[in-house]
Amino acid sequence: MDGAKSMKGFIDGELRGLGPNFKEYFDRSRTAIVSIDLHRGHLEDDPLCPCPAPRAREIVAPVDAFHVEARSLDVPVIHVRSTLRAGGVDDLAGRPSAWRLVFPLHVGTIGNSDAHAIEGTRWIEFVTKVDERDLVVSGKKRLSAFYPTDLDFLLRNMGIGTLVLNGCLADCCVLNTALDASNLGYRVVVPRNLIAGTNADLEDAAMRIIAMHVGVVTESSVVIDSWQSEFQKMI
């Protein structure tokens, strides 16, 4: 497949071809995948799950499959997870995160939220597969994968210019990471089938915001087709 023809993104909810100005968004050689918060603290089907994101359980298999394809094309995979110090100084025992007050107003009380992302607990274990070639960024303490982690430091040392984001929640951490990435000068791509929101309406709204103001929202198959086309030219 011609690389230019395979560049497509959602515009007003319709997948359309993009022009040559978007070549950098599909440049495999300077791209990394950033997979956000796909750990047990969001995905465990357990009453004790401290911050449940049940819709995200459906994307685990597609995300893993996408990562397998990416690794075969030499695209690095970076897993980011929230991690808070035991004792709560980063959050509850310090200045609590805003979500702890506002999120329950919309979804109801979360019974075990005090255990969310505490280091040393099972809740920060990844549900998605982490390959020995992958990189892990821990220490995310608020809504963006960049804050206050060393993700930007890592990406710049790798020479990365484009980020492909997946994970949860679309209307929270994925959206915040996309905004920060764009403000930091990265090109942002979000495969719509590899993210999950609090609900379908908020997920759609987040993707429309990203598509209009931040980057390219597309499908994982579009990204892989474009990468494969570029990869074949090198063989």
Q: Is position 12 within any domain? A: no
pLDDT at 111: 86
Looking up residue 43, the CATH number of its domain turns out to be 3.40.50.850
pLDDT at 52: 95
Q: Is position 214 within any domain? A: yes
Q: Is position 55 within any domain? A: yes
Give the pLDDT band of residue 188 (cuts 50, 70, 90): very high
Q: Is position 4 within any domain? A: no
Instruction: Quote the CA–CA distance of 234 and 135 in Å, as a whole number.
Output: 25
Q: Which domain holds residue 160?
A: 22-81+125-234
pLDDT at 6: 80
Which tens digit of pLDDT belongs to each residue from 68-111? Answer: 999 999 999 999 999 999 999 999 999 999 999 999 999 999 88
pLDDT for residue 1 is more than 60: no
Q: Is position 209 within any domain? A: yes
pLDDT at 2: 55
Q: Is position 99 within any domain? A: no
Which tens digit of pLDDT belongs to each residue from 24-77? Answer: 999 999 999 999 999 999 999 999 999 999 999 999 999 999 999 999 999 999
Mean pLDDT over each residue of the chain, to the nearest integer: 95
Least confident of 81-85, 159-163, 230-234: 230-234
Average pLDDT for 201-220: 98
Q: Is position 113 within any domain? A: no
How many structural domains compose the chain? 1
pLDDT at 231: 66
pLDDT for residue 184 is more than 80: yes
Percent of the chain at pLDDT above 70? Answer: 96
Q: Is position 170 within any domain? A: yes
pLDDT for residue 120 is more than 60: yes
pLDDT at 230: 72
